[in-house]
Amino acid sequence: MIKIYGSFVSRATRNLWMLEELGLEYEHVSLDWAKQENRSAAYLKINPAGKVPTLEDGDATLSESLGINLYLVQKYGQGGLWPDDDAGRALCVQWSFWAAAELEPLAYGRIREFLFKKEPDRDQALIANMAERTGPLLDLMTLALDEHAYLSGETFTVADLNAACVMEYLDRSDFDLSGWPKVAAWYTNTYGRPANQKIQDQRAPIAADMMKRLQG
């Protein structure tokens, strides 16, 4: 059976969402990074980087959350979240790389300030700088959404799932999306899908507890 390692307060939620979208059976091994469970000797044998998520599926052992989603969708998602045409599939790869390489450094840089620092200690100049640099990325998304309902075409695909789970960091750090109404509507529609809601409902109490610990 497919096994996914990583807690509900980690990037493993990206893969749990995909697994739910695909209706697959899986085992969830909830490693708690706050307790260093991702640094145990047993886990380091599976993922020498000691990071989560990791996916095991038959002979495949994979890391990198967005790459794991591309693997899952290619193996199990034909006719749905993985387009039938080459151009659509290429756009899924393009948007996934874009999410990891362009959006994530800014969105994660921003949310770190909110998660790991108390309000008075946050670097407001850094937060503002990250927001300013995020604007052109949202303009780019708007151009794509002017052309079609979703990032890779007229239907929801892995391109949207992968981009939305990085956008989540903006959402969780109170980023104001009102200047990009098409992106805001796309995000609400995409992130609110029932498969993700199921994961977010399980995540909520664990995240609230983590925030209590981090923010005091």
Ligand X SMILES: N[C@@H](CCC(=O)N[C@@H](CS)C(=O)NCC(=O)O)C(=O)O
Buried b (16+ CB within 10 A) or exposed e, 11-25: bbbbbbbbbbbbeee
Binding residue for ligand X, selected from 43, 51, 186, 199, defined by CB under 6 A: 51
Q: Minimal distance in Å, beta carbon 206 to ligand X?
A: 13
Cis peptide before 48 (omega within 30 of 0): no
Residue 62 or residue 184: which is nearer to ligand X going by CB?
62
Under the binding rule (CB under 6 A), the answer on residue 102 touching ligand X is no
Binding residue for ligand X, selected from 20, 50, 62, 97, defined by CB under 6 A: 50
Q: Beta-strand (E) ranges in the chain?
A: 2-5, 26-29, 54-57, 60-63
Stretch that binds ligand X, among 49-57, 75-83, 175-183, 188-196 (CB under 6 A): 49-57
Residue 63 or residue 196: which is nearer to ligand X going by CB?
63
Residue 78 or residue 215: which is nearer to ligand X going by CB?
215
Q: Convert residues 64-83 into a mask of x (bound to ligand X by CB under 6 A) and - (unbound).
A: xxx-----------------
User: DSSP label at 82?
Assistant: B
The DSSP result for 85-148, as a single string, is SHHHHHHHHHHHHHIIIIIHHHHHHHHHHHHHS-GGGS-HHHHHHHHHHHHHHHHHHHHHHHHS
Cα 212 to its chain centre, rounded Å, is: 22
Q: Convert residues 8-47 into a mask of x (bound to ligand X by CB under 6 A) and - (unbound).
A: --xx---------------------x----x---------
Q: Minimal distance in Å, beta carbon 154 to ligand X?
A: 28
Residue 11 or residue 153: which is nearer to ligand X going by CB?
11
Length of the chain, in residues: 216
Alpha-carbon span 69 to 22, nearest angstrom: 10
Interface residue list for ligand X (CB under 6 A): 10-11, 33, 38, 50-53, 63-66
